[in-house]
Amino acid sequence: MAFTLSPLPYAHEALEPNIDAQTMHIHHGKHHQAYVDNLNKAIAGTEHESKSIEELVKHAGSISVAVRNNGGGHWNHNFFWASMAPNAGGIPSGKLGDAINQSFGSFDAFKEKFSQAGMTRFGSGWAWLIVKDGKLEISSTPNQDNPLMDVAEVKGMPILGADVWEHAYYLKYQNRRADYLAAFWNVVNWAVVAERMEAAM
């Protein structure tokens, strides 16, 4: 079964003004679609054709560069769309809020460290909040790698990810990655992040 692009879980304009509709149209409809198409091309007629995206991503480093880049791209973007929502943001409460405070000192300190991971990722990549050995950690990966991959420097179960490729913000924010990352906090779907943490702990 070939992989397919799922529709966004909300309207393209739903994250305005934090993330603009045009960026969402191009990011989802063109960039994510291209990862799906190129992943399908890379696995067509091979033993990998019947594998799940999780299975492909986990072993990406030993399969091929095309699967690493495009399988990573497909998994990461599905995860990213679900990490955001309209009328979201704010400060996480409950177990997730407690875990963030315990791991990073405060929510503000967490935000600063996460944003720093995104800001210091040279070129294209991702900033992540992960569960590693039952604890929260922040990491970043280059290109379309992610913390599930065999090739990841820091491995763990991602519970939040921010795309810091220029295609994620350039139309609205141009070179101002910091402004994009500041706006990202207004659309983080903490309910989903909390569910992911529960599942990973």
Spatial distance between the Cα atoms of 180 and 151, rounded to a whole number of angstroms: 28
Torsion of CA 4, 181, 59, 2, to 10 degrees: 0
The rounded distance, in Å, linking the Cα atoms of 140 and 129 is 9
Closer of 95 and 167 to Mn ion (Cβ)? 167
Pull the structure tokens for residue 126.
């991702």
- CA atoms within 13 A of residue 129's CA, in its CB half-sphere: 26
Nearest residue to Mn ion by CB is: 163
| Cα-trace Rg, the chain | 16
With tokens 């890379």, the residue in question is 42
Closer to Mn ion by CB, 32 or 59: give it: 32
Query: What is the total count of residues that contact Mn ion (CB under 5 A)?
Result: 3
Nearest distance from residue 79's CB to Mn ion, in Å? 11
Shortest Å, Cβ 165 to Mn ion: 5
Q: Which is nearer to Mn ion, 59 or 77 (CB)?
A: 77
Sites for Mn ion among residues 160-199 (CB under 5 A): 163, 165, 168
Residue 119: C-alpha distances to residues 72, 152, 163, 164 (Å): 20, 19, 11, 8
CB of 178 to Mn ion, least distance (A): 18
Closest CB 176 distance from Mn ion, rounded Å: 17
Give the C-alpha distances (Å, rounded to integers) separating 114 from 127, 128, 142.
Answer: 7, 7, 15
What is the closest distance, in whole angstroms, from the C-beta atom of residue 76 to Mn ion in the complex? 7
Query: Closest separation between CB of residue 28 and Mn ion, Å?
Result: 9
Q: Is 145 in the site for Mn ion (CB under 5 A)?
A: no
CA 8 to chain centre: 14
Nearer to Mn ion, 16 or 166 (CB): 166
Amino acid at 36: V
Q: Which is nearer to Mn ion, 97 or 142 (CB)?
A: 142
Of 43 and 168, the one with the shorter C-beta distance to Mn ion is 168
Map tokens 């990073």 to a residue.
104
Binding site for Mn ion (CB under 5 A): 163, 165, 168
